[in-house]
Amino acid sequence: MMKNYIQQIIELFGHNEYSLATRRKVQRWLADDNHAEEKKEALHTLWQQAGEQKVPRGMQQSILRMQQNLGMQSVGSGKKYQLLIWRAAAIFLLAVSSVSIYLMLEKDKPQKDLVECFIPTAEIRELTLPDGTRVMLNSRSTLLYPEQFAGKTRSVYLIGEANFKVKPDKKHPFIVKANDYQVTALGTEFNVKAYPEEDVITASLIEGKVRVDCNDTISYVLTPGYQVVYNKCTDDCQMLTANMKDVTAWMRGELVFDKVTLTEIVRTLERHYGITFHISTKKSNQDRYNFVFRKDATLEETLEVMKVVIGQFDYRLEDSICYIIW
């Protein structure tokens, strides 16, 4: 019964266009742990329904890899269902909008297989792209890129956070896409943070020069020490100065919070420690806090410091869940 209900919601969601706020609510609901098996079975069924059609081999191999990573059986897909498939895959990878991925693939018409690199919770990994560009991916992040770059640009799609050290090639600009946000570089180092559960996307320039395009309406050319912050809810875009030591703290295993809400802190702690928080409170706390935690700080040490600054609260740890009563 629950499976059929979930399948109806996914089908409705996949075949119609909704506002960003609505898409994010549905994606969060699908990505949480409640009725996880029923949700997976519902997606299995939809995947099977899409198997009657065919797609170009490159796209088919990319979808196959996505299916394998999601634990789904191999089927083909027709153009009618491609959008739904990519949206479903993106949901389970916590993507904001697979529409962006789909349009990117259609526009570039890749001939090569698409590689998907997913970093699990509480892990950080480094990889080298086919052109020699080095990428450091943060916890719970996904990078989509072709096996071989072909054409006039080198385009990748990011879900989450990554640091890019781009291999210089003036004839082939390196482009990072994330939702309605795009960063273009020739040879440089920059950081992009684009987690789907967060309201903002941020590009910070460490070295060189990049152009940042926000929602196809406004562009900024950054010099080192600056960042562009794009609010997905309001479409507001700002260029600000940034502390690059804080921006890259995650690469050293450190946690730096600068004027952020408790909700934002909890999201980061979940990714960093691989734990889920359940908070029970009658208080409404929209205050913003500053914290710096060293690389080897345990979760318990982090929570004890937070108790002193934010206010007394009780917590208990059970397996991979942290219960907070405040």
Clarify whether residues 234 and 259 are in a common domain.
Answer: no
Do 178 and 274 have their domain in common?
no
Q: Is residue 104 part of a domain?
A: no
**Is residue 99 a part of any domain in this protein?**
no
Asked if residue 240 belongs to a domain, the reply is: yes
Whether residue 19 has pLDDT greater than 80: no
Q: What is the CATH number of the domain that holds 225?
A: 2.60.120.1440
Residues 242 and 267 in one domain: no
Q: Are residues 229 and 260 in the same domain?
A: no
- Would you say residue 103 lies in a domain? no
- Tell me, yes or no, whether 238 and 206 share the same domain: yes
Looking at the 3D structure of the chain, how many domains does it have?
3
Give the span between the Cα atoms of 24 and 44, in whole angstroms.
Answer: 21
DSSP state of 184: E
Which of the listed residues 223, 249, 275 is the one where a domain comes to its end?
249
Verify that 125 and 228 share a domain, yes or no. yes
The answer to whether residue 20 sits within a structural domain is: yes
Q: Which range of residues forms the domain containing residue 116?
A: 111-249
Residue 88 within a domain: yes
Q: Which residue has the higher pLDDT, 276 or 282?
A: 276
Q: Would you say residue 252 has pLDDT above 90?
A: yes
- Are residue 240 and residue 120 in the same domain, yes or no? yes
Backbone angles phi, psi at 146, to 5 degrees: -75, 155
In a domain, 209, yes or no: yes
Cα distance between residue 105 and residue 155, in whole Å: 10
Looking at 92, 126, 141, which one is the last position of a domain?
92
Average pLDDT, integer, range 164-182:
91
Closest-CA residue to 112 (of 156, 161, 54)? 156
- If one compares 289 and 75, the residue with the highest pLDDT of the two is 289
Q: What percent of the chain has pLDDT over 90?
A: 45
User: Picking from 12-16, 45-49, 56-60, 152-156, which range would have the lowest pLDDT averaged per residue?
Assistant: 56-60
Q: How far is CA 318 from CA 148, 277, 315, 321, in A?
A: 45, 11, 10, 5
Indicate whether 224 and 118 sit together in one domain: yes
21 and 64 together in one domain? yes
User: Cα torsion for 200, 203, 206, 212, to the nearest 10°?
Assistant: -150
Mean pLDDT for the chain overall: 77
In a domain, 6, yes or no: yes
Q: Are residues 233 and 293 in the same domain?
A: no
pLDDT at res. 13: 52
- Asked if 230 and 119 sit in the same domain, the reply is yes
Among the candidates 192, 227, 249, a domain finishes at 249
Q: How confident is the model at residue 318 (pLDDT cuts 50, 70, 90)?
A: very high
190/204 Cα distance (integer angstroms):
6
Domain of residue 264, CATH code: 3.55.50.30
Q: Are residues 226 and 136 in the same domain?
A: yes
Are 259 and 288 a contacting pair, CB within 8 Å?
yes
Q: What are the pLDDT digits (tens) for 29-73?
A: 655 556 666 665 665 555 455 444 433 344 444 445 444 444 433
